Amino acid sequence: MAEPVILLDRDATEGVVRQLVAALRLGILDGRLRAGDAVPSTRALAAELDVSRSSVVAAYEQLAGEGYLELRQGAATRVTAVQPRSTAEPAADAPTTTGAAPDRARPAGPRTGHERTVPIVADLSPGVPSTARLDERAWRAAWRAAAVRPPTTSPPPLGVPELRRAIAEHLRSARGVACAPDDVVVTAGTGEALALVASALVSLRGDDARVGVEDPGYPAGRRALARHGALPVPIPLDADGLDLGALGRALRPRRGRGLDAVMVTPSHQYPLGGRLPVAGRLALLAAAARADAVVIEDDYDSEFRHTGAPLPALASLDGGGERVVLVGSFSKVLTPWLRLGYIVLPGHEGLRTAVATARAELDTPVAGPVQLAIADYLDRGALRRHIAATRREYAHRRRMVQDALGSLDPGRARLCAVDGGLHAVLEVADRDAERVLVARLAADGVVVAPLAQYAASPPGAGGDRPGPAGIVLGYAGVGDLALAAALERIRAAVEG
Ligand SMILES: Cc1ncc(COP(=O)(O)O)c(C=O)c1O
């Protein structure tokens, strides 16, 4: 018989049944109560906790309804086969730790020394999609078709024609971006795409080509630019995303060198979720044109809009078609496991040549069979169906997040960035509150990313601009049960 440790708070506003349900559910997800374990009889548990038997019966019935317990007439109540998550892979876009910040919030056990081992209840690292609804038949068929193709020599540097065509078609139907297969360059994801663009910019504009980046923004993107010789220049945000006034000043400063390019996530600012309206998009393009700067549009998760109609990509608003480099990835719509993405090049001849030269230097990073398999998967319409199915799944999880965290006292925490994508942000008062919350959740087995890790300016460098504080929660890649348990802990951590 498993003996759950349950501490009831009799002064809490939360009723006994809710507390019982929460404690038992967490015990199961933690692995303290294992599949097949018998839980105490309702009579015994009621006596032990000094609560009414009907409260225990109600709690067991709710947990049976949620699928955690199996109630059988005349037999002991047992835990069903719920698998707690005990390991966690770092997410592709998980910000890396700098300075004294914690080494990602990863309480995965076992730990060495005398530290307590904390099993992971839920890994909410951002950037992890769900693959549970993958159309396995189409997936297998696509790989089979790619595998039986006789090998040729190396794949063409800019990508196999089948995939470049399939991506152009996907962008036309999913994003309303009109481009030709010749405009598409296959990449090994966004990081690799940015390496190519940075190398091209450096060859066109000289060493230390200056690229404006959102602050806070995508850390792996900044690193990729810097590694390939470009200099990321932090630009602050406003409620819609990039602060266009600040961008204008950085593009054409009174003194010194302006920007050669600017990198933006206009459809869903990463990580804060701002959405640049059409007028802002046009203003950004006009400002970039006046400064003769390239615009790098990171369109990383625009397929997942939960409210409001999707806005046109910058690439489709760029009248001359000369300025915007669209960078996309299969990491969110399929899986980062593929390491596959693309660039859509504008008509600018110099840029096209510079990217082709950089590609020749950096070599082709995506194996031919991978490219062929994904081209086939797209041609079958399987990606379109997959996006539709996962969009519903994510919309459901987003509702769970809103239900659990949307009504928190705004003086303590404010839920934002929930209009689209695969993550939400819970803003708190300041960095101290952020550190306390992350540490408390880590001790509770919930992995989240602190906003501090997204800051582009080093601490202090932003003058009186400390940047927003809070946590980023990826809700797409975890199951409903683990997400529910994590949300309960987040709520408790904020309220506690
Ligand atoms: C802002 C942003 N851009 C792009 C990506 C995709 O990156 P990659 O294609 O390198 O996996 C991510 C992934 O998590 C992201 O958060």
- What is the distance in A from the centroid of ligand 1 to the CA of 396? 23
Pocket probe for ligand 1: among 96, 125, 190, the residue whose CB has the most ligand atoms within 8 Å is 190
pLDDT of residue 133: 86
- What is the distance in A from the centroid of ligand 1 to the CA of 359? 20
Where does 136-380 sit in CATH, by number? 3.40.640.10
Which tens digit of pLDDT belongs to each residue from 396-429?
Answer: 999 999 999 999 999 999 999 999 999 999 999 9
Please check whether the two domains, 16-79 and 136-380, share a CATH topology.
no
Report which protein residue has its CA nearest ligand 1's atom 16.
93
pLDDT of residue 434: 96
Where does 16-79 sit in CATH, by number? 1.10.10.10
pLDDT of residue 249: 97
95 vs 395: which has the higher pLDDT = 395
Ligand 1 atom closest to 331 (CA): 11
78 vs 329: which has the higher pLDDT = 329
Does residue 330's CB lie within 6 angstroms of at least one atom of ligand 1? Answer: no
264 vs 42: which has the higher pLDDT = 264
- What is the distance in A from the centroid of ligand 1 to the CA of 304? 14
- What is the distance in A from the centroid of ligand 1 to the CA of 300? 6
Ligand 1 atom closest to 327 (CA): 4
Does residue 298's CB lie within 6 angstroms of at least one atom of ligand 1? Answer: yes
- What is the distance in A from the centroid of ligand 1 to the CA of 439? 26
CA angle 76, 82, 84 (to 5 degrees): 130
Does residue 260's CB lie within 6 angstroms of at least one atom of ligand 1? Answer: no
Q: Are strands 324-329 and 294-298 parallel, antiparallel or unpaired?
A: parallel
- What is the distance in A from the centroid of ligand 1 to the CA of 331? 7
Which tens digit of pLDDT belongs to each residue from 161-220?
Answer: 999 999 999 999 988 899 999 999 999 999 999 999 999 999 999 988 999 999 999 999
Of 267, 211, 206, 202, nearest to 241 (Cα)? 267
Does residue 331's CB lie within 6 angstroms of at least one atom of ligand 1? Answer: yes
- What is the distance in A from the centroid of ligand 1 to the CA of 392? 21
69 vs 469: which has the higher pLDDT = 469
Pocket probe for ligand 1: among 167, 329, 473, 475, the residue whose CB has the most ligand atoms within 8 Å is 329
With tokens 């990602």, the residue in question is 104
pLDDT of residue 308: 82
pLDDT of residue 438: 95
pLDDT of residue 96: 35
DSSP per residue, 148-191: HSPP-SSPPTT--HHHHHHHHHHHHHHH-----GGGEEEESSHH
CATH superfamily of 122-133+385-495: Aspartate Aminotransferase, domain 1 (3.90.1150.10)
- Give dist(CA 78, CA 72) in Å, integer: 9
| Residue 99 confidence (pLDDT) above 50 | no
Does residue 336's CB lie within 6 angstroms of at least one atom of ligand 1? Answer: yes
For the chain, give every domain's residue range. 16-79, 122-133+385-495, 136-380
- What is the distance in A from the centroid of ligand 1 to the CA of 132? 20
What percentage of the chain carries pLDDT values higher than 70? 89
| Residue 455 confidence (pLDDT) above 90 | yes
Ligand 1 atom closest to 218 (CA): 1
Neighbours of 155 (CB within 10 A): 19
What percentage of the chain carries pLDDT values higher than 90? 67
Does residue 266's CB lie within 6 angstroms of at least one atom of ligand 1? Answer: no
- What is the distance in A from the centroid of ligand 1 to the CA of 257? 29
Quick one: CA torsion of 361, 365, 369, 371, rounded to 10 degrees? -90
